[in-house]
Amino acid sequence: MHDLVQYIQSYLDSNQTPGAAGNIFWAVVYVLLVFVGLSIAVIAMNWLERKILAHMQVRLGPMRVGPHGLLQPIADALKLLLKEDIIPEEADKVVFWIAPFIVVLAAFTVFVVVPFGPTHAITDMNIGILFMLGVSSLAVLGIVTAGWASNSHYPLIGALRSSAQMVSYEVAMGLAVVSAIMMTSLNESNTGTLSMIGIVQAQLAQREWFLFKFFPLGIVAFGIFAIAMVAETNRAPFDLPEAESELTAGFHTEYSGFRWSLFFLAEYSAMIAVSSIAVTLWLGGWLRPFPNALSGPTWDLAFSLIPGLTFLFLAGMCFYSTVRMPKHPLFRIQTMGLAGFGALLAAIGLVLFIPAVRVRVSDIFWFSAKVAGFMYLYIWYRGTFPRYRFDQLMKVGWKVLLPTGLALLIVTAIWGMRSAVWADVVVPMWLGFVDLLRRIF
Amino acid sequence: MTDPNTLSPLDLDTPDKTFLDSNELVINMGPQHPATHGVLRVILRLDGEKVLGLECVIGYLHRGVEKIAENRTYTMFNPYVDRMDYVAAVSNGLGYCEAVEKLLSVEAPPRAQYIRVILTELNRIASHQLWLGTHALDIGAITPLFYTFRDREEILKIFEKYCGARLTTHAFRIGGLQYEAYDGFEQDVKNFVSFVKPKIDEYEELLTTNRIWLERTKGVGVISGKDCVALGVTGPVLRASGVKWDIRKAQPYANYKNFEFDVPTGQNGDTYDRYIVRMIEMRQSLRIIEQAVEGIPEGPIMAKVPKVMKPPVGEIYHSIEAPKGELGYFIVSDGSTQPYRIRVRPPSFVNLQALDLMCRGQLVADVIAVIGTLDIVLGEVDR
Amino acid sequence: MNPNLAANPPVATAFFFYGLAAVMVIGGIMVITRKNAVHSALALITTLLAQAALYLMLYAPFVAGVQIILYAGGIMVLFLFVIMLISIERASKERQFNKLWLIGIVAAAALGGLLIAVYTTTSKGRTMFVERPTSYVESQNTQAVAAFLFDRSTGMYMFSFEIASLLLLVAIIGAVVMAKKRI
Amino acid sequence: MDAMLNISTLHYLVLGAALFLLGIIGVLTRRNVVIVLMSIELILNAVNLNLVAFSRYWQSIHGPNALHGQIFAIFVITDAAAEAAVGLGILIAFFRNKETVNVDEVNLLKW
């Protein structure tokens, strides 16, 4: 028993990810934490998307279930779980069954290597980013099989569209990622890394987010990735596979109830996953803003207070809304619920001020805040853009993003190795040229 | 392989090959499809995603309006026409009332004419707003829908205040109007005009220069003016193809000749031009409304019309410029209280014929855009 | 990144090996027995993923990553795409094996016998592969692979790598030429 | 029992051999070209497994950086990608002309 406690406690001082420390207990804990956190994030994202989109579109969004519709996602999830499970008669039953699980597995597995902090990752793989890209590309298998197994025209077209789209944009995405990875190798030993944690540490060591590295190369790479990741997750304006007005619902037309909700879950966690990649590669991962410029204990303290203050601010919003609630007795429960939610947020905020918690959690907070920014972008796109047509989508992918990515890759490589290129290529060539001229004349 | 353009979409006698080779994928779009604007069924013959041809199957909303007319008196039939193009019910009523008035040789008094024009133009704006919202939604922009519906609501409020109904208004009577304009009608309309002007800019801000919107609409569903004329296509679709034909100018009815307004035309005849034409039309309608509200005369609102209408034996064709195109009524009277035959020339039905021509060689996604841009209302197509 | 990474002893190697091996073999059998090509493809994907896991056990994470991203995510999608393009309703109702199935199985059995003979005779009395205990550096695997492929001093496979890229280019052009309807 | 539980290179070789045989059987007996192609992938993977297992063995002798087997495996995967692309291209061309996916119906040199 003592050994067990020792085993569990030993990790806390080890300053490693559970995977690296080889601590199975904490690995399991982290897996559960990530799973629960992801589910909560998806639920929150669902509510936020509906509310934000609603307010962009001059309407209120969900208002009835819970105060300001806070319980709406839960009600929806319950509804989906209780719905009748329909499998089309002509469908390929086994494949129809498996397809959503492939998508969900692919979307969830990538979080094994997502670094929420220097030690807050389930594990740190040597091939981290490759693993993320590879596993997230498996989702396309689920989509293709879902469309095929439905044995119907619209899902099949949706599946073919989606697979073509995802495979195409993976290429551009990969090129952008490679250009960021090359930036990690700019150190004394010239060794880059694919490890997610290593990439963030490289940004810390180079005192610069890769977004601003080699201006404007980093921004261009980030731009390519930011476009490709929207296409990769099949979201507006690249939501052709599920283009409602054309293909009814694309590859998941025939899906309903629980299995449909799995696709939904997978879509949102894939969004979070690709945003995590973008945050890790270009936006400094868990690093707080200005880790080098504004360093020192005072700044550290100031920045570490922000998580708690954010929650207190949200709690304040809740209390303000509570005061503004109609005073009618019918709204009593809703008012109480909102006040309770505010109290919960305030409690979380206060807990985040405890020094021991503050130190451990601020990484996670900054990472999540950056990812949340991307989530807002996704919603914003959806509210703003019309949908691309398929050939235009392919044109953007292959004729714009891919050449740009290739050129970017070469330029980044040359610029990153500019001293070597100068010494080994340009100068010898120039000398040879001069020599040639001298021989001729 | 035979030339795909000569085949009917339903011509399935071609060998049943898979769509890799001879590329015949026949897809049934509708009648329950979110983007066919009601219950239109389109049978698409596809080469991958390219449309080889299509055929519209209509009649799912057929109610026999024309047949019903033969068993109703002229007055009784008036509300029925509202149910054809239900998003532009006022225009339908105007066309019918004017046709019967022509048959009876009466003319509505000037005050009635002015109020008719105001309401009709308001309805034109409402119809275009609904079109814009749904069309943008089809192309994937979901936000304009809510903006247009928010503003259309103001028009419907005016309708409701005027006659009690919001959609199928039955606003006009043969010979004039049933109701005098309510107190503050003019002020309401003026308020609306000043309210909606910046809103139209808002729609344009979201779409007109949006890159994706341009890519989705430019060069899509092109139809030449010649083809339009040959197919009888009218309205904004015709004007966007460069033919300056607006019945309000060409064969002025009501008192449109008293108002100053421009007839916008496009050059390319593509979806984008149709969009622009309709946006300009909305502004022009506002111009007409402004003039009409300023110049609205005092006087009676009902001409002298017999209680029991017995038009002389004869026939009449009268057409007006409805939001969607030329809306014509052909009425044959046998001298009795009931029309012998009424035939409606609905713009949606005629415009829908151009769908096949406009979609050939385009992609599936363009079919959606083209159906949207034709601005059809299935109630009017099927009647 | 972490030098201690290699110090962790592998856990339950036998359990994972036999589990993954079973998945692979069952997947392999499904590949060659299913009527429906999509089922075969799914079985093959399972096999490939299990194999990627085995690569991880063999301290070859980069190869495992390439296996996932290229094989499971790329090639198999291509396969599924093609299966869906060509009609298979008819194919799944037809005879599945060709006339040479008996000869094929006999040939395979003979080869199998040969392999068994090789493995048993050479390992008789002594172990065929004498493995020395060593620390496998997993955390630098990608860098080591890169050194073989790209490094100026140690990159002995640089030329082969370029040849491989040429091969891929030829394959792309060839595939496009053959699959295109009208060139 | 110990030999069973101590996973050595030989274990991987046996597994590779089993997959190789399955692939051979698939290639020799199936009619459907797609499945034949997949069986070829199976064979290539069996080879890859052997190569990576050898690589680990080689590492145990020549130090951790002796990764030649893994490099070969990467080349084989490259090859497999090229093979699949060309093979499926041929398959589509073939299917377009013959409307079949069965190997034993490809018995003409031209048609």
Q: What confidence tens digit (pLDDT) does each residue in B55-91 have?
A: 888 888 888 888 888 888 888 888 888 888 888 888 8
d(Cα B255, Cα B288) in Å, to the nearest integer?
11
Bridge-partner residues for B343, per DSSP? B330
The model's pTM is: 0.85
Query: Do residues B246 and B257 touch, judged by C-beta distance below 8 A?
Result: no
Bridge-based pairing state of the strands B325-333 and B314-322: antiparallel
Please report the sign of the dihedral spanned by the C-alpha atoms of residue A117, residue A123, residue A124, residue A129: negative
Query: D80: which 2 tokens?
Result: 């497999």
Per-residue model confidence (pLDDT) at position A1: 66
C-alpha distance from residue C141 to each of A110, A304, C27, D39, D76 (Å): 20, 36, 28, 30, 18
d(Cα B131, Cα B88) in Å, to the nearest integer?
11
Best to test chain B binding among A378, A385, A395 (most B CBs inside 10 Å): A385
Query: Do residues C77 and C42 touch, judged by C-beta distance below 8 A?
Result: no
Reply yes or no on whether the pLDDT at C23 is more than 90: yes
Same domain? For C76 and C148 the reply is no
**Peptide bond between residue A100 and the one before it cis (omega within 30 degrees of 0):** no
Closest chain C residue by Cα to residue B18: C87
Per-residue model confidence (pLDDT) at position D45: 92
d(Cα A69, Cα A83) in Å, to the nearest integer?
21
Per-residue model confidence (pLDDT) at position B13: 42
Closest chain B residue by Cα to residue A52: B143
Query: B363: which 2 tokens?
Result: 């992609």
Reply yes or no on whether the pLDDT at B30 is more than 80: no
Contacts for B101-105 with beta carbons within 8 Å, 24 or more apart? B101/B174, B101/B175, B101/B303, B102/B316, B102/B318, B103/B311, B103/B312, B103/B314, B103/B316, B103/B331, B103/B333, B104/B174, B104/B175, B104/B305, B104/B309, B104/B311
CATH number at residue C51: 1.20.120.1200
* C115 part of a folded domain: no
C2 → closest Cβ in A16, A134, A167: A16
Domains and CATH numbers, chain B: 4-57 (no CATH), 67-382 (1.10.645.10)
Is B17 touching D (CB cutoff 8 A)?
A: yes
**Peptide bond between residue A237 and the one before it cis (omega within 30 degrees of 0):** yes
For residue C7, name the pLDDT band (cuts at 50, 70, 90): very low
Closest chain A residue by Cα to residue C76: A141
d(Cα D84, Cα D94) in Å, to the nearest integer?
15
Those chains having 3 or more beta-carbon pairs within 8 angstroms of chain A are: B, C
Q: Which of A345-349, B172-176, B204-208, C93-97 has the highest mean pLDDT?
A: A345-349
* A432 part of a folded domain: no
DSSP string, B185-231: HHHHHHHHHHHHHHHHHHHHHHHTT-HHHHHHHTTSS---HHHHHHH
- Which helix (H) or strand (E) covers residue B356, if one does? helix B354-359
- Which helix (H) or strand (E) covers residue B317, if one does? strand B314-322
Contact map slice: A 44-83 vs B, CB within 8 A = 53, 56-59
Residue D24: domain span:
2-105
Residues with pLDDT less than 70, chain A: 1, 241-249
Q: How far is C79 from chain A (nearest CA, A)?
A: 11
Is C19 touching A (CB cutoff 8 A)?
A: no
**Residue percentage of chain B with pLDDT more than 90:** 1
Condensed to tens digits (0 to 9), the pLDDT of residues B250-303 reads 888 888 888 888 888 888 888 888 899 999 999 899 989 988 888 888 888 888
C-alpha distance from residue C108 to each of B62, C32, C88, D14, D37 (Å): 69, 13, 27, 15, 17
Residue A233: domain span:
2-287+354-425
Helices (H), C86-180: 89-93, 101-122, 141-150, 158-179
* C151 part of a folded domain: yes
8-state DSSP, B351 = H
Per-residue model confidence (pLDDT) at position B12: 43
**Residue percentage of chain C with pLDDT more than 90:** 13
Bridge-partner residues for D32, per DSSP? D102
Total domains in the fold of chain C: 2
Query: Do residues A334 and A66 touch, judged by C-beta distance below 8 A?
Result: yes
d(Cα D2, Cα A55) in Å, to the nearest integer?
67
First-to-final CA distance of chain A: 89
Bridge-partner residues for B55, per DSSP? B43
Those chains having 3 or more beta-carbon pairs within 8 angstroms of chain B are: A, C, D
pLDDT greater at residue D105 or residue D28: D28
Residue C164: domain span:
140-183
Question: Which position has the token pair 């860098």?
Answer: C143
Condensed to tens digits (0 to 9), the pLDDT of residues C57-77 reads 888 888 888 888 888 888 888
Please report the sign of the dihedral spanned by the C-alpha atoms of residue B348, residue B351, residue B356, residue B359: negative
Per-residue model confidence (pLDDT) at position B8: 47
Per-residue model confidence (pLDDT) at position A407: 92
Q: How far is B9 from chain C (nearest CA, A)?
A: 22
Question: Nearest to residue B119, comparing CAs of B88, B98, B80?
Answer: B88
Query: Do residues A375 and A275 touch, judged by C-beta distance below 8 A?
Result: yes
Q: How far is B352 from chain C (nearest CA, A)?
A: 33
Query: Do residues B61 and B70 touch, judged by C-beta distance below 8 A?
Result: no
* D17 part of a folded domain: yes
Q: Give the end of a domain, one of C35, C61, C95.
A: C95
* D91 part of a folded domain: yes
d(Cα A402, Cα B320) in Å, to the nearest integer?
53
- Looking at beta carbons, which residues of chain D come within 8 Å of B18? 99
Contact map slice: A 20-49 vs C, CB within 8 A = 20, 22, 24
Detail the DSSP E strand segments found in B48-91: 50-57
* A126 part of a folded domain: yes
Condensed to tens digits (0 to 9), the pLDDT of residues A18-32 reads 777 777 788 888 889
d(Cα A211, Cα A215) in Å, to the nearest integer?
8
Is C63 touching A (CB cutoff 8 A)?
A: no
Total domains in the fold of chain D: 1
Is D90 touching B (CB cutoff 8 A)?
A: no
* C20 part of a folded domain: yes
- Looking at beta carbons, which residues of chain B come within 8 Å of C87? 18
Give Cβ neighbours of residue A32 (< 8 Å, ≥ 6 apart). none
Per-residue model confidence (pLDDT) at position A315: 93
Average pLDDT rounded to a whole number, residues C94-114: 81
Per-residue model confidence (pLDDT) at position C132: 64
First-to-final CA distance of chain D: 59
d(Cα A34, Cα A29) in Å, to the nearest integer?
9
Task: For residue A410, count CB atoms less than 10 angstroms from its CB and return exposed for 0-12, middle for 13-18, buried for 19 or more.
Answer: exposed
Average pLDDT rounded to a whole number, residues B141-162: 88
- Looking at beta carbons, which residues of chain C come within 8 Å of B20? 85-86
Tell me the Ramachandran region of residue B106: left when phi exceeds 0, alpha when psi lies from -120 to 50, beta otherwise. Answer: beta
Q: Evaluate whether chains D and A are touching (3 or more beta carbon pairs less than 8 Å apart).
A: no
* A66 part of a folded domain: yes
Give Cβ neighbours of residue A180 (< 8 Å, ≥ 6 apart). A199, A210, A218, A221, A225, A281, A282
Per-residue model confidence (pLDDT) at position A150: 83
Per-residue model confidence (pLDDT) at position C125: 59
Tell me the Ramachandran region of residue B343: left when phi exceeds 0, alpha when psi lies from -120 to 50, beta otherwise. Answer: beta
CATH number at residue D69: 1.10.287.3510
d(Cα A432, Cα B7) in Å, to the nearest integer?
68
Bridge-partner residues for B319, per DSSP? B328
* A294 part of a folded domain: no
Per-residue model confidence (pLDDT) at position B7: 45
8-state DSSP, C132 = P
Per-residue model confidence (pLDDT) at position B295: 85
Per-residue model confidence (pLDDT) at position C122: 63
For residue C166, name the pLDDT band (cuts at 50, 70, 90): very high
Q: Give the end of a domain, one of C78, C95, C112.
A: C95
Query: C7: which 2 tokens?
Result: 């110090």
Query: Do residues C44 and C27 touch, judged by C-beta distance below 8 A?
Result: yes
Condensed to tens digits (0 to 9), the pLDDT of residues C137-160 reads 666 778 888 888 887 777 788 888
Bridge-partner residues for B344, per DSSP? B329
Is C102 touching B (CB cutoff 8 A)?
A: no
Per-residue model confidence (pLDDT) at position C136: 60
What are phi and psi for residue C122, nearest 5 degrees?
Answer: -70, -30
Bridge-based pairing state of the strands B172-173 and B176-177: antiparallel
* C176 part of a folded domain: yes
